[in-house]
Structure 1
Amino acid sequence: MTPKDMLLGLVIIFAWGFNFVVIKWGLDDLTPMMLGGLRFLVIAVIGSFFFSRPKTPFKWILVYALSLSFGQFAFLFTAMKFGMPAGLASLVLQSQVIFTLLFAVLFLKEYVRPYQLLAIGVAASGLAVIGLNGEDTTMTVLGFALTLAAAASWALGNVTTKGISKKGYDANVNLIVWACWIPPVPFFICAYFIDGSEVMWMNLVQIGWKTVATLIYLSVIATLGGYGLWSYLMSRYSAGTVAPLTLGVPVVGLTSSAFILNEHISHAQWSGIMLVLLGLIMNTLGGLWLAKKRAA
């Protein structure tokens, strides 16, 4: 990568890693369902002026939106509201790599290679250590389980994206933006039945500058800016060059949450974190090695 593009990669890492701290701030003033609905509504309204509507059939956009957007963030925001620390959420959410591999085997009939099985085993053992050692921290079992559900939803979205690409349609930032018109509907329906109309109304009329700044960050910076820059880098470099950048996201998430939110992570959980990161690195480096072997 050129120095300029490496700098853009670092911007993405910090934008996505700090994203979890901002989510925590947003949940101080909004319920999980209202935060999700407003976030995607802002993305859809703003993004539609800059990105053209994809030619992808509506049924595929619907599946994509309900899994990657609604499912992932409904579970994630609820998890962080009910006891999942922001830093750990940024790491545990990366278990989507494990779920994506498993779902690709089930739904796309893809083959899992030996190094991927080993990477899954190492990362899964790390997740087990994190999940079983939350008694000395603010993490709850419910929060941990819901974050895993968010990762599984993300993985379903990844498999859907692959399916869309295989059918010859573009799965780029245009799809991300226009699919954002769909999630606000289930988010607001859930808010009505979970929070009640009075709470929904109070969330709207009491929106302050902090909430506005949170929504702008989550929609404009983390989503439109982050994915826009990501698409730019993916168009210029191989996936093997760009993909490892995501390993920096939980590092930024963990450190920023520790310094800004004063989150405590037990020594055992740090061991689990290292195992998860090791598994993710093994999966990434294994793919790079295989790509180089094929090119040789």
Structure 2
Amino acid sequence: MRLKHVLLAIGLAAVWGFNFVVMEIGLRHFPPLLYAALRFALAAFPALLFVGRPGVAWRWIVGVAAAVGVGQFGLLLVGMRAGMPPGLSSLVLQTQALFVVVFAAVVLGERPGTRRIVGLAVAFAGLAIVALDFGAGGPVGAFLLCVGAAASWGLGTVIQRKAAPPDSLRFMVWVSALSAPPLLLLSLAVEGVPHLTFAWEGVASLVYVAFISTLGGFGVWGWLLKRYDASTVAPYTLLIPVFGLSSAALVTGESISPVKLLAGVLIVAGALWAGTRPRAARAYAAEAAALAAAGRASTISPTASSSCEADRNHASYAEGGR
């Protein structure tokens, strides 16, 4: 990647990492499910009027909206309201790689391979350390909700891989549009009719997560993926918990203990090892992506096709906590 594009990718990870602190601030002013509904409603409208049709079957949009819009963000925000710190949430969400492999094996019949199993074992060890450390003094239910959010994200990743949307920004706008109504209904059913006071920081939080993190972030993400293969771009998203933990420490005073650092190293290193491919396989993936874009996917060799799928496994929704 060119230097300015590397800086752009790092900046995108910083935006998505800081997103957890912004959500923590938003939760001071909105109930979690309502906050999620407003976030996706703002991301969808008026953008929906300009992006055109989604370019994929509606069942895929419904599936991703249910898994990611409602499942991931609903569980994440409820977990954060229940006591899960924002920095730690950004770290735990990276364990979605574990669930991607599980769901891909069950739904798609994929075999993870030795490299991926080793990487996931390392990441799981980091998650276990987080669980033991946080469980000793924090609410276990909040931690489990965050793990459930990671599982929902993993399921959404598999669904999106099946959908293979041609434009990630347009796809996200439509996912947002279909996520907002069920989240609003859940909010009314669970949280009741809200009594809102629109403080400036609450409104600013919604503006950030809807326009900067969601629309702006996905726009940059799609732009980078059009210029580089997924295995080149996706590893930069592993910087998200680095920025999430550091920004939470600076803004909210969340502590970064040696135990958290160890867990973070294990989770990020394990996810990186499991999600990236050897150099030769990356070359096949780039070839497969080029052929698919040219409409000649049927000519891709089985090896190239398999490698391309593995790259998308790491890239799809790598922008977690957006």
Looking at structure 1, the residues matched to 126 and 182 of structure 2 have their Cα atoms a distance apart, in angstroms, of 33
Looking at structure 2, the residues matched to 135 and 156 of structure 1 have their Cα atoms a distance apart, in angstroms, of 25
> How far apart are residue 182 of structure 1 and its match?
1.5
> Relative to structure 2, which stretch is displaced further, 94-103 or 176-185?
176-185
Looking at structure 1, the residues matched to 167 and 103 of structure 2 have their Cα atoms a distance apart, in angstroms, of 18
Q: Secondary structure at the match of 1:181?
A: helix
- Flag the 1:227–1:288 CA change in 2: closer, same or farther, 3 A: farther
| Residue aligning to 2:310 | none
Looking at structure 2, the residues matched to 80 and 259 of structure 1 have their Cα atoms a distance apart, in angstroms, of 18
- Flag the 1:85–1:290 CA change in 2: closer, same or farther, 3 A: farther
| Residue aligning to 1:195 | 191
> How far apart are residue 42 of structure 1 and its match?
0.2
| Residue aligning to 1:225 | 216
> How far apart are residue 245 of structure 1 and its match?
0.5
TM-score under structure 1 length normalisation? 0.91
Q: Deviations over 1:135-168 (max 9, x none)?
A: 565x421111111100111111111111112xxx
Looking at structure 1, the residues matched to 225 and 11 of structure 2 have their Cα atoms a distance apart, in angstroms, of 15
In structure 1, stretches of 5+ residues that fail to align are none
Cα RMSD (Å) of the superposition?
A: 1.9
Pick the aligned partner of 1:210 from 179, 184, 201. 201
Question: 1:41 is matched by which residue type in structure 2?
Answer: A
Residue-pair matches, total = 286
Native 8 Å contact 1:76 1:150 kept in 2: yes
- Sequence identity percentage: 35
> How far apart are residue 71 of structure 1 and its match?
0.7
Looking at structure 2, the residues matched to 151 and 47 of structure 1 have their Cα atoms a distance apart, in angstroms, of 27
Q: Deviations over 1:103-137 (max 9, x none)?
A: 11100111211010001101001101110112565
Looking at structure 1, the residues matched to 257 and 60 of structure 2 have their Cα atoms a distance apart, in angstroms, of 42
| Residue aligning to 2:142 | 143
- Flag the 1:49–1:208 CA change in 2: closer, same or farther, 3 A: farther
| Residue aligning to 2:291 | none
| Residue aligning to 2:243 | 252
Looking at structure 2, the residues matched to 4 and 292 of structure 1 have their Cα atoms a distance apart, in angstroms, of 22
Q: Secondary structure at the match of 1:29?
A: coil
Native 8 Å contact 1:36 1:184 kept in 2: yes
Question: 1:247 is matched by which residue type in structure 2?
Answer: L
Q: Is residue 63 from structure 1 mapped to residue 59 from structure 2 by the alignment? A: no
Native 8 Å contact 1:96 1:154 kept in 2: yes
| Residue aligning to 1:182 | 178
Q: Is residue 172 from structure 1 mapped to residue 168 from structure 2 by the alignment? A: yes
> Relative to structure 2, which stretch is displaced further, 57-66 or 37-46?
57-66
Looking at structure 2, the residues matched to 5 and 79 of structure 1 have their Cα atoms a distance apart, in angstroms, of 34
Looking at structure 2, the residues matched to 293 and 213 of structure 1 have their Cα atoms a distance apart, in angstroms, of 43
Question: 2:63 is matched by which residue type in structure 1?
Answer: V
